[in-house]
């Protein structure tokens, strides 16, 4: 005799049980349904016993219900499989038939005007010819909807009838390139589409088919892809709506900066990237062999801009700067676009006012332009223009502010190693004048204050050799400089600037103090020799500025092909 089937109405389960003593079912009905004719034992709280007649009668009804349900599910699955097979057959047949369909452009139609997608507004109602990539694709009851992308914009396009029945139409894939001919129509009332119009396609061709199946675009990349895959496939990521919007805004930002700087009478120059002098300290130099001589990739074009003042007046440049920092933070790149300005015959106060004006006027222009304003709205819907004047906070006051707000930093020993307490946690201490305010503390302060801050007057020992000391304070314990960092909420430092040492002897002493050999700097020193002047300038990290403007998590999203430690591909 086969072993009895166990049912435990309190502890058993129909889903996970097996009907054994160890894993009983939860209901008598299920036991009857799965094991008709078997001996059944049931318990509720006490010992297992044979079920009563009335319990069996009730369970029989339940088992019949389950049987019916099972039959229905089987029928449904059968119907489903049949429908799928029919659909497959229909598609195969369609594809076979589609091979016979040859599209020809109707010669009686008006000649199609070639256009880019951002220039279609004036062509409503006319026949146009557009080319681009299949950005989105939807096949719906013999109508194919394509959102076409050509870099200048997007266009909803509709294929119906014969144009939707060709082999190319039935096998079209995302990211294929196509040329579409058709009439441009306003979208029906109540519907939306990019630009407010759609293309009713009457003729089209595939220019370059993208793969489907395993190698399909959406299989190589999607929102859940790992960051390292996204980095490797940056060239494909750029095709996305967000990444391309960031780069479009970047282009508008550069144009706006150039217009603003030009309106302030700064002239654009292009200094070299290959240099033989350091600007911001030897630790972050990328060294290379230059025809057998040591050379570096530039850290800043500042020194060259200074040499332009006597011939060109105030100048600016947009040049790549390179920093060999082993920093993996969200605001560090190994190569970044550095917008730098240099102005002659100014005071420190005028320098800070200038930086503030340039930033605010540049943002004003972007917001006044409908295209860039829409990009800002898309990427950073809560963006509000910062109020002027920007808050100014001296370095010494910032140290006090940090201590007043309990923002401490990790204590370090003389060798720069973090000191740990008995539990092995870093020992936290208050800030003192002379400390380099670390990124974390600076970020906390900026985010609490929530406005742009000009942090100014840093101690000389923390800053570059060329910075002008604050006059009249030479005897103090700390020597402070006419220097400023502009800090933005969410990003931190986006601009670093200062007045420069104007006196030749003072500069020579500064080289000496830093242990810099003055001979390769002869041309920089000459600026002080042949008619010196009070002057100052600044450098703005374009990717950091864009991260602030477009509310991006990291500067890596703000560069076309970002470089960071160990990453120089694609």
Residue whose CB is less far from ligand 4AD, 528 or 544:
544
- Among 175, 314, 340, 356, indicate the residue that binds ligand 4AD (CB under 6 A): 340
* Three-state secondary structure string covering 518-549: CHHHHHHHHHHHCCCCCEEEEEEEHHHHHHHH
> In the window 512-551, what residues touch ligand 4AD (CB under 6 A)?
537-541, 543-544
Count the site residues for ligand 4AD by CB under 6 A. Answer: 24
Residue whose CB is less far from ligand 4AD, 24 or 496:
496
Interface segment toward ligand 4AD; rule CB under 6 A; list 36-44, 72-80, 310-318, 493-501: 493-501
> In the window 29-88, what residues touch ligand 4AD (CB under 6 A)?
none
Provide the pairing of β-strand 154-159 with 428-429: unpaired
496 forms part of the interface with ligand 4AD (CB under 6 A): yes
- The span from the CA of 30 to the CA of 15, in Å, is 10
End-to-end alpha-carbon separation of the chain, Å? Answer: 72
Provide the pairing of β-strand 40-43 with 5-8: parallel
Q: What share of the chain is helix, strand, coil (3-state, %, to 5)?
A: 35, 25, 40
163 forms part of the interface with ligand 4AD (CB under 6 A): no
Least distance CB 280 / ligand 4AD (angstroms): 5
Residues with Cβ < 8 Å from 414, sequence gap 6 or more? none
Provide the Cα torsion 330, 333, 334, 338; round to 10°: -150
Least distance CB 253 / ligand 4AD (angstroms): 14
Interface segment toward ligand 4AD; rule CB under 6 A; list 23-31, 216-224, 335-343, 358-366: 335-343
- Among 30, 204, 336, 348, indicate the residue that binds ligand 4AD (CB under 6 A): 336
- The span from the CA of 513 to the CA of 465, in Å, is 8
What is the SS3 assignment for 469? strand
Provide the Cα torsion 467, 473, 478, 484; round to 10°: -40
333 forms part of the interface with ligand 4AD (CB under 6 A): yes
Q: Which of 555, 531, 527 is nearest to 542 (CA)?
A: 555
356 forms part of the interface with ligand 4AD (CB under 6 A): no
Letters for 404-423 (x = contact with ligand 4AD by CB under 6 A, - = none) are --------------------
Letters for 255-294 (x = contact with ligand 4AD by CB under 6 A, - = none) are ------------------------xx--------------
Least distance CB 271 / ligand 4AD (angstroms): 11
In contact, 376 and 366? CB cutoff 8 Å: yes
Interface segment toward ligand 4AD; rule CB under 6 A; list 9-17, 118-126, 328-336, 514-522: 328-336
Residues binding ligand 4AD (CB under 6 A)? 279-280, 300, 302, 323, 325, 332-333, 336, 338, 340, 493-497, 537-541, 543-544, 555
């Amino acid at each position: 005799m086969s072993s009895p089937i166990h049912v435990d109405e309190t502890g058993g389960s129909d889903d996970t049980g097996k009907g054994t003593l160890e894993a009983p079912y939860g209901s008598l009905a299920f036991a009857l349904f799965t094991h008709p004719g078997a001996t059944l034992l049931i318990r509720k709280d006490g010992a297992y016993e044979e079920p009563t007649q009335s319990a069996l009668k009730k369970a029989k009804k339940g088992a019949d219900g389950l049987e019916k349900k099972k039959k229905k599910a089987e029928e449904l699955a059968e119907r489903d499989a049949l429908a799928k097979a029919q659909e497959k057959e229909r598609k195969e047949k369609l594809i076979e038939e589609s091979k016979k369909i040859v599209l020809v452009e109707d010669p009686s139609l008006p000649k199609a005007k070639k256009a880019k997608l951002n220039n279609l507004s004036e062509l409503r109602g006319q026949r146009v010819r557009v080319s681009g990539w299949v950005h989105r694709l939807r096949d719906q009851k013999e109508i194919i909807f394509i959102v076409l992308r050509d870099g200048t914009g997007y266009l909803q396009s509709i294929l119906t009838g014969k144009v939707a029945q060709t082999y190319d139409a039935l096998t079209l894939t995302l990211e294929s390139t196509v040329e579409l001919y058709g009439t441009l129509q306003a979208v029906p009332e109540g519907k939306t589409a990019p630009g407010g119009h759609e293309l009713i396609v009457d003729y089209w061709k595939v220019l370059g088919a993208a793969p489907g199946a395993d190698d399909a675009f959406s299989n190589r990349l999607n929102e859940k892809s790992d960051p390292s895959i996204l980095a490797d496939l940056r060239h494909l990521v750029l095709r996305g709506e967000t990444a391309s919007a960031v780069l479009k805004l970047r282009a508008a930002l550069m144009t706006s900066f150039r217009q603003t700087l030009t309106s302030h009478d700064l002239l654009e120059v292009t200094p070299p990237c290959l240099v033989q002098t350091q600007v911001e300290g030897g630790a972050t130099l990328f060294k290379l062999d230059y025809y057998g001589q040591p050379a570096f990739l530039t850290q800043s074009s500042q020194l060259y801009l200074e040499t332009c003042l006597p011939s060109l007046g105030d100048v600016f440049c947009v040049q790549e700067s390179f920093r060999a920092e082993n920093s993996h933070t969200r605001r560090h790149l190994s190569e970044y676009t550095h917008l730098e300005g240099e102005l002659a015959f100014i005071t420190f106060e005028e320098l800070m006012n200038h930086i503030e004006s340039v930033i605010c006027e540049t943002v004003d222009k972007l917001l006044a332009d409908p295209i860039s304003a829409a990009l800002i709205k898309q990427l950073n819907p809560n963006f509000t223009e910062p109020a002027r004047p920007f808050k100014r906070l001296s370095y010494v006051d910032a140290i006090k502010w940090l201590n007043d707000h309990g923002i401490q930093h990790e204590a370090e020993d003389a060798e720069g190693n973090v000191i740990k307490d008995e539990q092995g946690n870093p020992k936290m201490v208050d800030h003192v004048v002379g400390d380099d305010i670390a990124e974390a503390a600076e970020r906390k302060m900026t985010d609490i204050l929530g406005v742009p801050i000009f942090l100014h007057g840093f101690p000389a020992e923390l800053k570059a050799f060329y910075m002008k000391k604050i006059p009249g304070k030479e005897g103090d314990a700390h020597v402070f400089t006419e220097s400023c960092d502009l800090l933005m909420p969410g990003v931190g430092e986006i601009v670093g600037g200062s007045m420069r040492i104007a006196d030749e002897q003072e500069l020579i002493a500064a080289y000496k103090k830093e242990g810099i050999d003055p001979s390769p700097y002869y041309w920089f020193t000459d600026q002080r020799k042949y008619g010196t002047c009070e002057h100052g300038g600044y450098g703005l990290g374009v990717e950091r500025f864009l991260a602030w403007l477009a509310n991006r998590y990291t500067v890596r999203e703000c560069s076309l092909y970002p470089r960071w430690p160990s990453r120089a591909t694609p």
